[in-house]
């Protein structure tokens, strides 16, 4: 009997795994867990279930078990599995990758703007994962389609958001990292340029996030908590430029579009965020010289001004905390410099 399904840190999440909890019925006779899971998971094969168990994606009563473990009445089985896994065959492409760190367990990559993380409808080529597939195949020509690292993608960032993303190179590392995202222990800080002069130097936004009721590709904030998933963003002002503000956002949770939705909710839409209305003048009188200046800023940073600047987590093999930082990219830095100069005039 399945009693609960809870998503790891961001569908509505930026993580790609879901957490399923099962309680074994009272009348259940001893039965191999790999067979039991296969029966209770649509589309699961015994081979894939066994690999998942070996990689640590399943626990019984809080402990890892082997595939031949015999379940008992009352056992609590927790399983992590891909959210809506797409069976698209990865198209290996020689795409330049800015690899910040790599070892035998994981890779940390600094993603550029205008790059989708993984293949999907309308984006089957040019994705980060296509480039990773090519890169790993060059390292090990024996890799086949099943062993290429779709499982290693434990979270994602938006197409036009730049910055750090971690990918696992083994199943064990993927399970370890996925649990950290679920437990909200991953240290993620973003830098964003937002419209308006934020009154407080720092603050916390606490509002549920769910699909927008009219626009299904967008999300919205629901402060009463009756709709959507719990979401918390902490922000701190870094610089003020009168009409826009540079802020640092720390995610306590990680829902899809969380920073974009939360900042819009408090009246400070991200600069040049086309989906949420930030691609027009939201602060300041619209007159010709000012409008021309803002258009120049839009041209300098032709995307949502959001950058995943820092990423810290426990290394799945060493158990030590590792931390990475990425400089603000040139396009966003150019827009910030223009506002910094303009605010001093």
Catalytic residues: 158
Residue 313, CA distances (Å) to 64, 69, 184 in order: 21, 31, 10
CB atoms closer than 10 angstroms to residue 302: 15
Say if CB 230 and CB 208 are below 8 A apart.
yes
HSE on the CB side for 114, CA within 13 Å? 5
Q: 3-state secondary structure string, the chain? A: CEEEEEECCCCCCCECEEEEEEECCCCCCCEEHHHHHHHHCCCCCHHHHHHHHHHCCEEECCEECCCCCEECCCCEEEEEEECCCCCCCCCCCCCCCCEEEECCCEEEEEECCCCCCCCECCECCCCHHHHHHHHHHHHCCCCCHHHCCCCCECECCCCCCEEEEEEECCHHHHHHHHHHHHCCCCEEEEEEEEECCCCCCEEEEECEEEECCCCCCCEEEECCCCCCECCEEEEEEEEECCCEEEEEEEECCCCCCHHHHHHHHCCCCECCCHHHCCCCCCCCCCCHHHHHHHHHHHHHCCCCCEEEEEEEEECCCCCCEEEEECCCCHHHHHHHHHHHHHHCC
Q: Give the separation between CA 127 and CA 121, rounded to whole angstroms.
A: 12
Say if CB 24 and CB 75 are below 8 A apart.
yes
Geometric angle at alpha carbon 221, from 216 and 223, rounded to 5° = 145
């Amino acid at each position: 009997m399945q009693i609960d399904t809870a998503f790891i840190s961001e569908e509505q999440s930026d993580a790609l795994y879901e957490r399923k909890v099962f309680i074994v019925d009272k009348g259940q006779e001893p039965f191999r867990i790999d067979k039991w899971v296969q029966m209770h998971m649509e589309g699961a094969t015994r081979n894939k279930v066994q690999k998942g168990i070996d990689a640590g994606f399943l626990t019984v009563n809080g402990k890892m078990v082997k595939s031949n473990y015999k379940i008992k009445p009352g056992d609590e089985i927790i399983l992590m599995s891909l959210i809506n896994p797409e069976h698209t065959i990865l198209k290996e492409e020689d795409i330049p990758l800015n690899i910040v760190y790599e070892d035998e367990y994981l890779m940390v990559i600094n993603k550029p703007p205008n790059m989708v993380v993984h293949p999907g409808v309308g984006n089957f080529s040019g994705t980060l994962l296509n480039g990773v597939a090519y890169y790993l195949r060059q390292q090990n020509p024996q890799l086949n389609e099943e062993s290429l690292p779709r499982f290693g993608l434990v979270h994602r960032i938006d197409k036009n958001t730049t910055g750090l993303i971690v990918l696992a190179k083994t199943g064990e590392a993927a399970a370890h990292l996925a649990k950290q995202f679920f437990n909200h222990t991953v240290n993620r800080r973003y830098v964003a340029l937002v419209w308006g002069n934020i009154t407080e130097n720092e603050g916390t936004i606490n509002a549920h996030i769910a699909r927008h009721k009219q626009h299904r590709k967008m999300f919205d904030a629901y402060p009463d908590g009756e709709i959507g998933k719990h979401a918390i963003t902490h922000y701190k002002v870094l610089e003020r430029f009168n009409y826009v503000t540079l802020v640092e956002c720390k995610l306590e949770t990680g829902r899809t579009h969380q920073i974009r939705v939360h900042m819009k909710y408090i009246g400070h839409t991200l600069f040049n965020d086309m989906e949420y209305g930030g691609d027009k003048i939201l602060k300041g009188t619209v007159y010709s010289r000012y409008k021309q200046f803002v258009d120049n800023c839009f041209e300098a940073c032709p995307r949502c001004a959001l950058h995943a600047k820092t990423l810290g987590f426990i290394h799945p093999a060493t158990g030590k905390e590792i931390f990475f930082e990425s400089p603000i990219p040139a396009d966003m830095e150019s827009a910030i410099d223009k506002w910094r100069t303009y605010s001093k005039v």
